[in-house]
Amino acid sequence: MRKNALAISLAGALFCVLPTLAIAGTTEQVTDTVTTGVTGVQFSSGFLDALSSLGVEAGPVGPTTIYDGIATFPITGGAIDLNTAGGNIIHSGGLTLHTSKTNVLLESFIIDTTGAAPVLTGLVVVNGTLLGRVPLFNLILPPGFTLPLKPQLPLLTLSNVTVELSSKAAADLNSVFSVSAFHGGFDIGKADVFAFISF
């Protein structure tokens, strides 16, 4: 049921961005530009329970939406090499994590697959102070994922990607909220990426 809800949420978001889709020429090339799309993350019960037990509330940074434990992040640009899967997928919006005394914004997410392992970075703002861009989540591709990528042009889809908290982000969250509940590899949830590309 939760997976169906994620699919419905993403379908609605895709409907909103389809009118802005612009396809370039048909010349074959290795690296393609990401034009628009959406990434949906279904939060794990463990992550939601941990936040609740710590008195931390999660919310969206517009235009991100959160409904029934599913966060939807609009894709605004990027580029990806279809032979190596190396690239960046850029998002707008983000998440807030806050208590009565502390407000953390995680925003402007970028899925970065140019390094040794996929990672999602984001800008971190704590109580109004920008700390910079940090690696927030490690991305674990599903079993059976193979290269090169085979998009159904103009749509590139990655489903059932595991999202885990990075060691850096875990240490920062523990410090900011004065807790010890978070650790590297903490299960955040599952992500589905639907990116339109020009080709």
In a domain, 115, yes or no: yes
In a domain, 22, yes or no: no
> Mind listing the pLDDT tens digit for each residue in 124-182?
999 999 999 999 999 999 888 776 777 787 899 999 999 999 999 999 999 999 999 99
Q: What is the pLDDT of residue 54?
A: 96
Supply the pLDDT for residue 8: 43
pLDDT of residue 3: 55
In a domain, 178, yes or no: yes
Confirm if 79 and 86 have CB atoms less than 8 A apart. Answer: no
Task: Count structural domains, the chain.
Answer: 1
Looking only at the bridges linking them, the beta strands covering 65-67 and 103-112 are unpaired
Residue 175 lies in a domain: yes
Please give the single-letter amino acid code of residue 72.
T
pLDDT for 85 = 87
Q: Low-confidence residues of the chain, pLDDT below 50?
A: 8, 11-27
Domain assignment present for 24: no
Sign of CA dihedral 8, 190, 138, 199: negative
Is 32:79 a contact under the CB 8 Å cutoff?
Answer: yes
Looking at residue 48, its pLDDT comes to: 97
Q: What's the confidence (pLDDT) of residue 146?
A: 75
Residue 12: per-residue pLDDT: 47
* Residue 144: C-alpha distances to residues 17, 158, 160, 197 (Å): 30, 12, 11, 23
pLDDT of residue 1: 54
Tell me whether residue 20 is in a domain: no
**Contact present, 161 and 194 (Cβ < 8 Å):** no
Q: Write down the pLDDT at residue 4.
A: 55
The pLDDT of residue 126: 98
18: in domain: no
C-alpha–C-alpha distance, residues 95 and 109, integer Å: 10
Mean of the per-residue pLDDT values of the chain:
88
25 in any annotated domain: no
For residue 40, what are the domain limits? 2-13+31-197
Q: What is the pLDDT of residue 24?
A: 38
Separation of alpha carbons 168 and 177, rounded Å = 14
How many CB atoms sit inside 10 A of residue 13's CB? Answer: 21
d(CA 64, CA 92): 7
Which of 114, 39, 43, 42 is CA-nearest to residue 75? 39
pLDDT for 143 equals 86
